[in-house]
Amino acid sequence: MSGKTLSRKACSPLLLAACSWAMLSAAPATAEEVVNVYTTREPGLSAPLFEAFTKATGITVNSVFVKDGLAERVKAEGAASPADVLMTVDVGNLLDVVDAGVTQPVETAALTAAVPANLRDPAGNWYALSMRARLVYEAKDVKLANFHYEDLADPKWKGKVCIRSGQHPYNVALTAAYIVHHGEAKTEDWLRGLKANLARKATGGDREGARDILGGICDIAVGNSYYVGLMRSGKGGPDQKKWGEGIDVVLPTFEGGGTHVNVSGAAVAKNAPNKANAIKLLEFAVSPDMQHIYAQQNMEYPILAGAKVDPIIGDLGPLKVDPISLVDIAKARKKASELIDKVGFDN
Amino acid sequence: MSDATFEQNPGTLPGHTSLQLPGTKKVSRLLIGAGAVAGFVLLPVVALVEIALQGSGDLWPHLVESVLPVALGQTLTLLVGVGIATVLMAVPCAWLVATCDFPGRKLLDWALLLPLAVPSYIVAYSYLDVLHPLGPVQSAIRWGLGISSPRGLHLPDVRSVGGCIFVLSCVLYPYVYFSARASFIVQSAAALEVARTLGASRMRTILRIALPLARPAIVAGVTLVLLEALGDIGASEFLGMRTLTVSIYTTWVNRANLPGAAQIALVMLVLVLAVILTERWARHGARYVATGSTRPQAPLHLTGGAGIAAMMFCCLPILLGFVVPVLHLATAAAQRIEFSGFSGGILVETRNSALLALSGTLVALALGSVVAMAQRLTRSPLAVWFARIGGLGYAVPGTVLAIGLLTPLAGFDNAVNRAMTSLFGVSTGLLLSGSGAALVIAYAIRFLTIPIGGLEAGYSKLSLHLDMAARSLGCSQRATVRRIHLPLLRPALATAALMVFVDGMKELPATLLLRPLGVETLATHIYAEAARSTYEDGALAALLIVLVGLAPVILLARVSRAGVPTSTSRSPVSPSPAPDPR
Tell me what pLDDT residue B581 has: 33
On the question of pLDDT at B560 being above 80, the answer is no
A175 interfaces chain B, CB cutoff of 8 Å:
no
Range of the domain at A271: 34-130+262-308
Query: CA-CA distance, A220 to B283, in Å (whole number)?
Result: 53
Q: Give the 3-state secondary structure of residue A268.
A: strand
User: What per-residue confidence (pLDDT) applies to B22?
Assistant: 45
Q: Does A216 contact B133 at a Cβ distance shorter than 8 Å?
A: yes
Stretch B335-360: mean pLDDT, rounded? 85
Q: Would you say residue B154 has pLDDT above 90?
A: no
Provide, as residue numbers in chain B, all residues whose Cβ is less than 8 Å from the Cβ of A208: 128, 533
Residues A93 and A222 in one domain: no
Which 359-388 residues of chain B touch chain A by CB within 8 A? 359, 362
When the pLDDT of each residue in chain A is averaged and rounded to a whole number, the result is 88
Residues A79 and A192 in one domain: no
In this structure, what CATH number is given to the domain that contains residue A124? Answer: 3.40.190.10
User: C-alpha angle A120/A124/A126, rounded to 5°?
Assistant: 55
Indicate if A117 and A158 belong to the same structural domain.
no
Q: Looking at the structure, do residues A102 and A204 belong to the same domain, yes or no?
A: no
d(CA B131, CA B124): 11
Q: Based on the domain organization, do A256 and A143 belong to the same domain?
A: yes
What is residue B406's predicted lDDT score, i.e. its pLDDT?
86
Contact with chain B for residue A258, Cβ under 8 A: no
pLDDT at B456: 86
Q: Using DSSP, state whether B48 is helix, strand or coil.
A: helix
Q: In this model, does residue B37 exceed pLDDT 90?
A: yes
Instruction: Note the pLDDT of residue B10.
Output: 40
User: What is the per-residue pLDDT for B9?
Assistant: 39
Contact B463, B398 (CB under 8 A): no
pLDDT at B576: 33
Chain B: residue nearest A83 by CA? B517
Query: Residue B288: pLDDT band by 50, 70, 90 thresholds?
Result: very low
DSSP B206: I
Chain A residues 78-107 within an 8 A CB cutoff of chain B: 78-82, 92, 96, 99
Residue to substitute from A335, A339, A341, A346, interface B, most B β-carbons within 10 A: A341
* Whether residues A201 and A244 fall in one domain: yes
pLDDT tens readout for residues B124-136: 988 988 888 888 8
> Do the Cβ atoms of A42 and B362 come within 8 Å?
no
**For residue B117, pLDDT beyond 80:** yes
A36 vs B contacts (CB less than 8 Å): 517
Q: Which of A36, A200, A236 sits opposite B517 (nearest CB)?
A: A36
Q: Which amino acid is at A251?
A: L
Let me know: does A113 contact A303? Beta carbons within 8 Å: no
What is the C-alpha separation between A85 and A165, in angstroms, rounded? 29
Q: How far apart are CA B222 and CA B82, in angstroms?
A: 9
| CB spacing of A43 vs B520 below 8 angstroms | yes
* Residue A16, in any domain of the structure: no
Whether A15 is covered by a domain: the verdict is: no
Per-residue model confidence as pLDDT tens digits over B422-480: 888 888 888 888 888 999 999 999 999 889 988 888 888 788 888 888 888 888 888 88
Q: Is A7 among the domain residues? A: no
Confirm whether A77 is domain-assigned: yes
Q: Which CATH class is domain B55-297+309-326?
A: mainly alpha
Name the pLDDT band for B394 (thresholds 50, 70, 90). confident
B70, B355, B537 ranked by CB distance to A20: nearest: B355
| B274 residue type, one letter | A
Cβ distance of B403 and A344 shorter than 8 Å: no
Instruction: Give the pLDDT score at A286.
Output: 94
From B519's Cα to the closest Cα of chain A, the distance in A is 6
- The DSSP bridge partners found for residue A262 are A132
* Å between B76 CA and nearest CA of chain A: 14
pLDDT over 80 (residue A254): yes
Report DSSP letters for B466-483, one per residue: HHHHHHHTT--HHHHIII
Mean pLDDT to the nearest integer, B229-240: 86
Closest chain B C-alpha to A91 CA, distance in angstroms: 12
pLDDT > 90 fraction of chain B, expressed in percent and rounded: 24
Decide if A283 is inside a domain.
yes
pLDDT per residue as tens digits for the range B169-227: 999 999 999 889 888 887 777 777 787 788 878 788 888 888 888 887 888 889 889 98
pLDDT confidence of A280, banded at 50, 70, 90?
very high
Chain A interface includes B334 (CB < 8 A): no
Mean pLDDT, rounded, for B267-291: 69
The pLDDT assigned to B501 comes to 93
Mean pLDDT of the A231-251 span: 89
Please tell me whether the interface predicted TM-score (ipTM) of this complex is above 0.90. no
Q: A116 vs chain B: nearest CA distance in angstroms?
A: 27
The residue type found at A347 is: N
Residues B243-261 have pLDDT tens digits of 888 888 888 877 778 888 8
What band does B356 get if pLDDT is binned at 50, 70 and 90? very high
Q: Say yes or no to pLDDT of A14 above 60.
A: no
Confidence of residue A24 (pLDDT cuts 50, 70, 90): low
Whether the per-residue pLDDT at A79 is higher than 60: the answer is yes
Secondary structure (H, E, C), A64-103: EECCCCHHHHHHHHHHHCCCCEEEEECHHHHHHHHHCCCE
Closest by Cβ to A13, choosing from B134, B358, B414: B358
The residue ranges of every structural domain in chain B are 55-297+309-326
Looking at the fold, whether A221 and A178 belong to one and the same domain comes out as yes
Collect all residues of chain A within an 8 Å Cβ-Cβ radius of residue B399. Answer: 68-69
Asked whether the predicted pLDDT for residue A219 surpasses 90, the reply is yes
| A338 and A211 in a common domain | yes
In terms of domains, do A201 and A121 share one? no
Chain A residue with minimum CA distance to B428:
A80
A230–B532 CB contact, under 8 Å: yes
Contact between A193 and A175 under an 8 Å Cβ cutoff? The reply is no
| Domain membership flag for residue A244 | yes
Question: Do A54 and A150 sit in the same domain of this protein?
Answer: no
Q: Taking the CA atoms of A96, A100, A102 and A105 in sequence, report the sign of the dihedral they define.
A: positive
Same domain, A236 and A148: yes
Question: pTM for the full model?
Answer: 0.83
Domain count, chain A: 2
Query: Is residue A94 a part of any domain in this protein?
Result: yes
Secondary structure element (H or E) that encloses residue A248, with its range: strand A247-250
> Among the ranges A187-201, B16-30, B557-571, which has the highest mean pLDDT value?
A187-201
Which CB contacts under 8 angstroms, 24+ apart, belong to B56-64? B56/B257, B56/B259, B56/B260, B56/B263, B57/B257, B57/B260, B59/B251, B59/B255, B59/B257, B59/B260, B59/B263, B60/B260, B60/B263, B62/A338, B62/A341, B63/B247, B63/B251, B63/B260, B63/B264
Contact A68 B253 (CB under 8 A): yes
Check residue A9 and give its pLDDT: 47
A184 touches chain B (CB under 8 A): no
How many Cβ pairs within 8 Å bridge chains A and B? 215
Q: Name the residue among B134, B513, B516 with its Cβ closest to that of A215.
A: B134
Split at pLDDT 50, 70, 90, the class of A244 is very high
pLDDT (average), residues A87-97: 90
What is the per-residue pLDDT for A3?
Answer: 42
A130 reaches B (C-beta below 8 A) = no
**Average pLDDT value for residue range B366-392:** 89
pLDDT of residue B256: 75
Tell me, yes or no, whether A61 and A169 share the same domain. no
Query: What pLDDT, on the 0 to 100 scale, is given for residue A20?
Result: 55
Q: What is the pLDDT averaged over residues B145-162? A: 84
Q: Lowest mean pLDDT: which of A337-346, B145-154, B273-282, B406-415?
A: B273-282
Identify the closest residue of chain B to A97 by CA–CA distance: B256
Mean pLDDT value of segment A315-319: 92
